[in-house]
Amino acid sequence: MRKLKYAEHKLLKHTDFLNWKVDNNLHEVKIMRKYMIQKREDYTLYNKMSRETRDLANMIKNLDPKDPFRVEASGKLLEKLYTMGLIPTKWNLQLCNKVSASSFCRRRLPCVMVRNKMAPDLRSAVTFIEQGHVRVGVEAVKDPAFLVTRPLEDYVTWVDTSAIRKHVKQYNEERDDYDLSNC
């Protein structure tokens, strides 16, 4: 092996080949692929929110059990997490430790669509959303990272002008004669 030049030697002096820093992101890649997350920033945000939720729950648990603030704060936190759909019931503060990035991923619009049988798989659900076929409430949503809360879950539907909605109505024989004349 040749002798290193001065600049090469100076650069390599700062590099430790024995303790090489490795990104252990296999779990992150697995979750991103499982839930069809396109942006790494979304997963990072979910991970940060879940960590902050667990930290907040632990801070509330460390308070005196008879403190009225603890009762009020835990009630508000549990109500919020239940409304968001991150925990199954709002009666146990221990459930807050189970909130993870996957909990947030399961509340994304494509996952809700697959669960409601509006799409056969996540890939087609993401495609429908990006093409503008889906609305939540009164406004159309084109972002697959849209988080659907429990109250909004009932209002996920097709846009009125969507061709998919027309096909579904025709298949179910619910299409109106007025709709047939407007094709």
Tell me what pLDDT residue 118 has: 95
What's the DSSP call for residue 173? Answer: T
Tell me what pLDDT residue 20 has: 58
Q: How far apart are CA 131 and CA 129, in angstroms?
A: 5
Does residue 14 carry a pLDDT above 60?
yes
Rounded to an integer, the average pLDDT of 133-149 is 95
Tell me what pLDDT residue 13 has: 75
Which CATH number describes the domain made up of 107-181? 3.10.290.10
Task: Tell me, letter by letter, the H, E, C secondary structure of 25-91.
Answer: CHHHHHHHHHCCCCCHHHHHHHHHHHHHHHHHHHHHHCCCCCCHHHHHHHHHHHHHHHHHCCCCCCC
C-alpha dist (Å) from residue 176 to 156, 157, 181: 22, 18, 9
Rounded to an integer, the average pLDDT of 25-39 is 91
Tell me what pLDDT residue 116 has: 95
Give the residue extent of every domain in the chain.
Answer: 26-102, 107-181
Pairing of strands 139-140, 156-158: unpaired
Percent of the chain whose predicted confidence (pLDDT) is above 90: 68
Residue 24: band (very low, low, confident or very high) from pLDDT cuts 50, 70, 90: low
Rounded to an integer, the average pLDDT of 174-183 is 64
Rounded to an integer, the average pLDDT of 90-103 is 92
Rounded to an integer, the average pLDDT of 76-91 is 94
Tell me what pLDDT residue 168 has: 85
Say which residues have a Cβ less than 8 Å from residue 24's Cβ, sequence separation at least 6. Answer: none
Q: How far apart are CA 142 and CA 160, in angstroms?
A: 15
